[in-house]
Amino acid sequence: MEGNRGSLERIDVLRKITELTKSMIVELSNRSSKMISIDRFKSYCTNSLENCCCRFNLSEGKETLTLQRESHVRRLDVLLRVLLIIQQLLRENRHSSKRDIYYMHPSVFTDQSVVDRAINDICILLQCSRHNLNVVSVGNGLVMGWLRFSEAGRRFDCIKKPNSAHFIPVQVEEVTDIASPADYILVVEKESGEGYSDKSWFHGSRKLNFKFHFDQLKYLVSYFERPVFQRLANDRFCSRNRCIVITGRGYPDVPTRRFLRILVDVLALPAFCLVDCDPYGFDILTTYRFGSMQMAYDAKYLRIPQLQWLGAFAADSEKYNLPEQCLIPLTLQDKRRTEALLQRCYLRREVPQWRLELDSMLQRGVKFEIEALSVHNISFLSEEYLPSKIKNELTTGKF
């Protein structure tokens, strides 16, 4: 049955490709400079609530590509080349990554973002999702915990080793037979612990003057050695807590977001998100819950409106007695980014409390990583912070 449905979807998309190319040929034969009009979507605006008309599934206007502008001619060239590749993939029932497509014409495409834009335009024109084009993302996401599922005939049983990571399937639409006895889903921001690129923590460490306890200093150094997902795996968090843990390892890719959305829909479990207390962590949180601007046209299938923000909050630095050395001053870029985030309409409309938390970080003027909680105990995050936060959420029923 799944195979038949997939075949029907491919036939439908191929039909739409034929209709699109025919319409472009008609425009050319009529000597019209107008080639195509592409609907434009956005996931948010910065207008007041009274003037906001954002809807995640409605077009916010059209962009018309003509032959009169050189930049449009180039975009049309790229779009048609990518469309030809997609048509071949669908006819042969093969899949390809965006990177593979880029390397088919690197001198023409010049940059991966050019291909990405063309794929998004094609999805809008054909009114479909990226997976319908047989174009897949190189998956970065990981999952562990109390979960079983099948994908393309393969069975994944995470429950046998709940603290072992599994890659999230690239072809998420082929995931079936999802089952789980979990109580909740936890999304964590990162798996790799790069630390902040400006290394500002080291500047703060000069204030230690060797009076700071050596063990605490050792835990601070663990910022760069103990990624959050791995920390939870090492502490056997999923063995102690019946849950599913997912990470997109930073800004989440499409397979991670789609996989999470499917799990939430199928399992009907509360979902919580843990990110760094900084503007980038908050932006990652909103990408999961509200979708990205780049793929606003597909937000219906990628956004997770049930997702709740678990932390880290600005007030946690005081609540959990984080020393000054763990707090990093917000840069001018951080402040500007935070101010821009505060203007997004969906925060005012759907989660005003989130705006208060974000504004609190801005007023305090400092940020910190989740790993800073290790200053008290290397397993403080998994043994105290997360259990208490989640228990409170489940008890109050905020989700």
Catalytic positions, written as ranges:
103
Tokens for 46, please give them. 């910065």
Burial class (CB in 10 A: 0-12, 13-18, 19+), 317: buried
Is residue 50 within 8 Å of residue 93, measured between CB atoms? Answer: no
CA nearest neighbour of 276 among 310, 318, 319: 310
* Helix (H) / strand (E) containing 64: strand 62-66
DSSP state of 223: G
Kindly report each contact of residues 315-318 with a partner whose C-beta sits within 8 Å and lies 24 or more positions away, as own/partner: 315/360, 316/277, 317/277, 317/364, 317/366, 317/368, 317/372
- Of 133, 126, 160, nearest to 146 by C-alpha is 160
What is the residue-wise DSSP string for 15-55? HHHHHHHHHHHHHHHTT-SEEEEEE---S---S-GGG----
Q: What is the DSSP letter of 381?
A: I
Residues 30, 49: Cα–Cα separation, whole Å? 44
* Token duo for residue 316: 């946690």
CA dihedral 79, 257, 94, 72 (to 10 degrees): 0
For residue 197, what is the DSSP state?
A: T
What are the distances in angstroms from CA 312 to CA 207, 238, 269, 323? 24, 20, 21, 15
Name the region of 250 (left: φ>0; alpha: ψ -120 to 50; beta: rest): left
> Measured between alpha carbons, how far is residue 151 from residues 108, 128, 146, 179, 301 in Å?
35, 21, 17, 13, 19
Structure tokens, 206: 């000069």
